[in-house]
A = this chain, B = another copy of it.
Amino acid sequence: MARHRFEPTRYSNVLATLEPVLAVADGDTVVTTTLDAAGRDRDGVQRAPRGNPMTGPFFVEGAEPGDALLVRIDRMTPIRATGWTFSVLAPNVVEPGAVARLPERREVEWAIDPQAGTARLADAGRELTVPLAPMIGCFGVAPRQGQAISTATSGEHGGNMDYRRFAPGTTAGFPVAVPGALFFLGDGHACQGDGEIVGTGIETAFEIEFTARLRKQAGFGWPRGETETDIFTVGNARPLDQALQHATTEMLRWLGQDFGLDATAASHLLGQAVRYDVANVFNPAYSVACRLAKRWLTRPEGTAGGLEGTG
């Protein structure tokens, strides 16, 4: 269970089978840094092209296609005193007839105060202060079949899901498609509402600590996650309807695999207890999470936590 400190010197704007930056073992912890979505570092220096440049990939020893990579987000510390957002709702989240009434989009700067735990914006004669709620906007593994998928979008491999529950304390799970999994991360947000409807969270540079584990032959089809209270699956597609279909189908699979619920039992439970989160409704693929409180779930005797399954 080694603890690695890794300072990136190159970044990638695709998730792909690239030369690893570091090899880690199952159970190891990594402390590293990420650029903001625009490619700027802790000092505001442009270090990579815009569009969610990634730190990584990290090679996880022993990871094989069919396994799941489990990444616990141990800590996210903003390392710059400023973050930025766009100033206006994205045109695709309002009625087409209302688009022409939106003002033009600008980039605005927030002051981040880690001591106070807040981000503060002064813009257009008003102030707004929000509590820091760090999350990872874009992370995931190398996709299958030699694809190199832009960090603008997302898919079965993860990617730019912009889901606010991918936050410290959450364990994320990804279906491994290539040997070593090849894990990438970046695009940290100091805060973000549902849907990422202005097209950004509060974009800034982070120090992130995470722990990687493997679950062998796990049968994941889409990203999954586990918080202190909930399990969730994430579907990535347009329209939202299809993203929701993927997430729901993956939840059915999970409830069957690990909790012994057939389609009928899972339907009864989800019908009364499911929660859906609109993670993002901005990126080329939208993301919807299908979420269920863990108190509804009973695991067979002697088995581990949600994402770790019954192994």
Whether the pair B263, A102 counts as a contact (CB closer than 8 A) is yes
Could you tell me the distance between the alpha carbons of A12 and B148 in the complex, rounded to whole angstroms? 13
Taking A16-B148, A238-B239 as contacts, is the C-beta distance between A272 and B126 under 8 angstroms? Answer: no
Whether the pair B85, A271 counts as a contact (CB closer than 8 A) is yes
Closest residue of chain B to A121 (Cβ to Cβ) is B268
Whether the pair A94, B264 counts as a contact (CB closer than 8 A) is no
Whether the pair A268, B128 counts as a contact (CB closer than 8 A) is yes
Interface string of A144-173 (1 = CB under 8 A from B): 011111100000000000000000000000
Could you tell me the distance between the alpha carbons of A286 and B51 in the complex, rounded to whole angstroms? 25
The answer to whether A227 has its CB under 8 Å from any CB of chain B is no
Whether the pair A192, B272 counts as a contact (CB closer than 8 A) is yes
The answer to whether A77 has its CB under 8 Å from any CB of chain B is no
Residues of the B chain whose Cβ atoms lie less than 8 Å from the Cβ of A262? 124
Residue from the list B128, B195, B264, B274 in contact with A194, Cβ < 8 A: B274
How many copies of the polypeptide does the oligomer hold?
A: 4
Residues of the B chain whose Cβ atoms lie less than 8 Å from the Cβ of A265? 124, 126, 128
Whether the pair B263, A103 counts as a contact (CB closer than 8 A) is yes
The answer to whether A7 has its CB under 8 Å from any CB of chain B is no
With both chains docked as a complex, state the minimum distance between the C-beta of A81 and any C-beta of chain B, in angstroms: 18
With both chains docked as a complex, state the minimum distance between the C-beta of A147 and any C-beta of chain B, in angstroms: 5
The answer to whether A281 has its CB under 8 Å from any CB of chain B is yes
Interface string of A111-141 (1 = CB under 8 A from B): 0000000010101101010100000000000
Could you tell me the distance between the alpha carbons of A250 and B274 in the complex, rounded to whole angstroms? 26
Whether the pair A147, B91 counts as a contact (CB closer than 8 A) is no
66-94 of chain A: CB within 8 A of chain B: 85-94
Whether the pair A99, B95 counts as a contact (CB closer than 8 A) is no
Residues of the B chain whose Cβ atoms lie less than 8 Å from the Cβ of A276? 194-195, 277-278, 281
Could you tell me the distance between the alpha carbons of A156 and B91 in the complex, rounded to whole angstroms? 20
Whether the pair B244, A123 counts as a contact (CB closer than 8 A) is no
Closest residue of chain B to A274 (Cβ to Cβ) is B193
The answer to whether A257 has its CB under 8 Å from any CB of chain B is no
The answer to whether A197 has its CB under 8 Å from any CB of chain B is yes
Closest residue of chain B to A89 (Cβ to Cβ) is B267
Residues of the B chain whose Cβ atoms lie less than 8 Å from the Cβ of A146? 12-14, 16, 148
Whether the pair A91, B100 counts as a contact (CB closer than 8 A) is yes
10-43 of chain A: CB within 8 A of chain B: 12-14, 16
